[in-house]
Chain A
Amino acid sequence: MIDFINSTLRFATPLIFASMGGLLCERAGIATICIEGIILVSAFTSAAFDYYSSSPWLSLGAALLVGGVFMLLHAFLTVRVKSDPIISAITVNLLASGMTPLLMKLLFSNSTNTPSLPQENRFLPVFIPFLSSFPIIRHFSNHLSLVYLAILLPFVIQITLTNTRWGLRLIAAGDGPEALVTSGVSLNHTRFVALFLGGCLMAFSGSYLAIGHSSQFIRDMSAGRGFIALAAIIIGKWQPIPTLVACVFFGFTDALQIELQSSEMLNLILPAQFIQSLPYVISLVVLVFAMGRAKPPLAIGQTSR
């Protein structure tokens, strides 16, 4: 049971980072279905950088930069060139999914995965002595530092959105761009910054996957997490804490799937593929039936008619 909860947390972590990054972008009024692509490039960047530098933290930094820069491309296409955000995001996704194997082949002569990294060059579990003194929490005190960060992140975002002027302007950029402009704030600037930072947050997710959760980058290793994160945002109604809950739930289905795959019996009754599809099916059902009409940030609603 304890193992299962820990496993849930581990699977939820990349989703939380990705969805928090996406949430920032969407709240700023730019539809962002390119989370998937950002996870890919940042995962690749950290794996490749780690291979050469042997420093997970430096690699994380490089990944953040690359994630941010890729989102700047999305920002440039949507904000400056005013192209359709859906097409722009698909472009970013295509670029990411093509570029990673291309570079991999170039750098490592192998277009399916990067070399496996030694244990000491990866993120290591951080044991928190303070937590370990409590009776039950003690069992959850041995995770990667990124896992703790992920659980804190939604609260930080919540506070940023509601209690800082930057957050205020970000919300205004999404829900009332005209109001922001008439208040004398640059809408484009606000959105550019939001998308860059959003890209950085998504990059945490990629780094975690490549050099935390596993020890290498594997082709298409994001495996749809970017879209699950997007679904989590929608189900969380663009609010950080509910989105966190949705992410944890999706982490739970992931953990469940791993659990079930190992038991032959269950696999016969309920094949792994169906559990794999569970997050998507649930997202779809929630999206369509439980929520009625989703109410995205106003500016996003407008771009999609």
Chain B
Amino acid sequence: MNTVNRIFIPMVLIGLITAGIIWACGENPAILAEAFSNTFFSPFGLGYTIYYATPLIFTGLSVALCFHAGLFNIGAEGQLLWGSIAIVAVSHHFSQLPVFLAIPLGIILAALAGALWGLIPGYLKAYRGSHEVVVTILLNFIATTWVGYLILYPLKNPNTQSAETEIISSTYFIPKFSNAFSWFGTELFRTTPANLSFFIALFCALLAHLILYRSALGYEWRAMGTNFTAARFAGIRTRTQTLCLFVISGAFAGLVGVNEVMGSEHKVIEGFSPGYGFSGIAVALVAENNPLGIIASAFLFGGLQTFARELEFLSDNISKDISIVLQAILLIFIACRPWLAKRLLKQRGESHD
């Protein structure tokens, strides 16, 4: 019931606000219905939603794990860049590997690259007492510029003017849904970039869920996040765990590259991420940091993105950036909810007197 509330009410709210915006933009709100049905009732829309939801699951997990221990990871954006470029780099050097080696290697290196970039804020937070928020923000920019260099020089695709890397070797390709379905003789999800790395995301969510709620490690993290002093008193090594969390969070964020590079684009395009790292914060907040809930809220946000794409397609006045605005409105709503509830309660109490 509660989860229904958490997802459903925001969706209705978003619907209303979007209708308002569309109306204000001088468009017929009826296109809302068309965009909605294109998004949610067509395999094409669903394919895109899955494609957008996959990275959001990864970054949502990355943020949520840290949140559970009371830490802020705003660095998913940088971590996912390293994860993506690592795949291109490994394919550049080992282009002849057979599929059964190439795919695991790509996945592992993407995770590893993200983890290494997560190691920096983790170390600085745990052992130098630096503020993880400022550090991760700075690291995001450093990652953008340095990865930008790799895209433009060592790994550049010489055959094009645009800022993108070479195409990875085909042994690293993760099959798209369309390919997978065509093995069964259907054409479902054709032309959408949805790919099997979605299942890696699902697996990660499940894994995160198990670690958090079923393992001694997750127990320690949640203890740290709920009552830091008591956790320290009980002998939990909070520094080691902080480091460990940032590394794991980084690895999750790095896996975004698997969806983007191995799954759909097969190359890294400069600026490909429309802020997956920051959206991950919204995803985690809506799901109250529950890994399985993150799957649902990633679908909400992924759907939002597809929906915005459809709107842009159907209208001359609306750009797909409306999805970012809607995300922000959703966040404001979530932030205000306890306060609103308190005020409503107060008013009701007063009217009783």
Is B one of A's binding partners? Answer: yes
Q: A87-B331, A102-B325 are in contact. Are A305 and B149 (CB under 8 A)?
A: no
Distance of A104 Cα from B318 Cα, bound (Å): 9
Return the contact of A91 from the options B72, B131, B316, B328 (Cβ within 8 A): B328
**Is A182 in contact with chain B by the CB < 8 A criterion?**
no
Return the contact of B335 from the options A31, A87, A230, A284 (Cβ within 8 A): A87
Contact with A along B142-172 (1 / 0, CB 8 A): 1001101100110000000000000000000
In the complex the two chains form, is B146's CB within 8 Å of A273's CB?
yes
In the complex the two chains form, is A80's CB within 8 Å of B317's CB?
no
Interface residues of A in 226-282 (CB under 8 A from B): 227, 230-231, 234, 271, 273-274, 276-277, 280-281
Return the contact of A98 from the options B72, B317, B327, B338 (Cβ within 8 A): B327
Interface residues of A in 97-117 (CB under 8 A from B): 97-102, 104-106, 109, 111
Interface residues of B in 289-344 (CB under 8 A from A): 316-319, 321-329, 331-332, 335-336, 338-339
**Is A149 in contact with chain B by the CB < 8 A criterion?**
no
Task: Identify which of A9-17, A119-127, A286-294 touches chain B.
Answer: A286-294
Q: A106 contacts which chain B residues (CB < 8 A)?
A: 25, 317-318
Distance of A164 Cα from B327 Cα, bound (Å): 41
Q: A87-B335, A91-B331, A98-B327 are in contact. Are A304 and B145 (CB under 8 A)?
A: no
Q: How large is the interface on B (under 10, 10 to 19, 20 to 34, 35 or more residues)?
A: 35 or more
Distance of A94 Cα from B100 Cα, bound (Å): 40
**Is A81 in contact with chain B by the CB < 8 A criterion?**
yes
Query: For chains A and B in complex, what number of residue pairs have CB atoms within 8 angstroms?
Result: 137
CB distance from A148 to the nearest CB of B (A): 29
Task: Identify which of B51-59, B88-96, B133-141, B259-267 touches chain A.
Answer: B133-141
Chain A contact residues: helix, strand, loop or mixed: helix
CB distance from B205 to the nearest CB of A (A): 22
Q: A99 contacts which chain B residues (CB < 8 A)?
A: 321, 325
Q: B40 contacts which chain A residues (CB < 8 A)?
A: none
Q: A77-B332, A106-B318, A305-B70 are in contact. Are A94 and B278 (CB under 8 A)?
A: yes
**Is A147 in contact with chain B by the CB < 8 A criterion?**
no
Distance of A104 Cα from B148 Cα, bound (Å): 27
Return the contact of B332 from the options A31, A80, A91 (Cβ within 8 A): A91
Task: Identify which of B102-110, B122-130, B206-214 touches chain A.
Answer: B122-130
Q: B338 contacts which chain A residues (CB < 8 A)?
A: 81
**Is A118 in contact with chain B by the CB < 8 A criterion?**
no
In the complex the two chains form, is B135's CB within 8 Å of A83's CB?
no
Q: A231 contacts which chain B residues (CB < 8 A)?
A: 134, 138
In the complex the two chains form, is A280's CB within 8 Å of B141's CB?
yes
**Is A86 in contact with chain B by the CB < 8 A criterion?**
yes
Distance of A234 Cα from B134 Cα, bound (Å): 9
Q: B316 contacts which chain A residues (CB < 8 A)?
A: 109
Q: A224 contacts which chain B residues (CB < 8 A)?
A: 141
Q: B331 contacts which chain A residues (CB < 8 A)?
A: 87, 90-91, 94
Q: B131 contacts which chain A residues (CB < 8 A)?
A: 294, 296, 304
Q: How large is the interface on A (under 10, 10 to 19, 20 to 34, 35 or more residues)?
A: 35 or more
Distance of A20 Cα from B6 Cα, bound (Å): 39
In the complex the two chains form, is A273's CB within 8 Å of B145's CB?
yes
In the complex the two chains form, is B285's CB within 8 Å of A284's CB?
no
In the complex the two chains form, is B339's CB within 8 Å of A80's CB?
yes
Distance of A73 Cα from B332 Cα, bound (Å): 9
Return the contact of A77 from the options B134, B326, B335 (Cβ within 8 A): B335
Q: A283 contacts which chain B residues (CB < 8 A)?
A: 138
CB distance from A110 to the nearest CB of B (A): 9
Q: Can you name 5 A-B pairs with beta carbons within 8 Å?
A: A97-B324, A100-B321, A106-B317, A273-B149, A277-B142
Q: Which residues of B contact A (CB under 8 A)?
A: 21, 25, 70, 72, 74, 124, 128-131, 133-135, 137-139, 141-142, 145-146, 148-149, 152-153, 228, 275, 278, 281-282, 285, 316-319, 321-329, 331-332, 335-336, 338-339
**A104-B319, A271-B153, A293-B129 given. 9 additional CB < 8 A pairs?**
A77-B332, A98-B328, A100-B321, A105-B321, A106-B318, A109-B317, A281-B142, A288-B135, A293-B130
The 8 closest A-B pairs by CB, nearest first: A98-B324, A95-B328, A273-B149, A277-B145, A98-B325, A83-B335, A105-B319, A111-B319
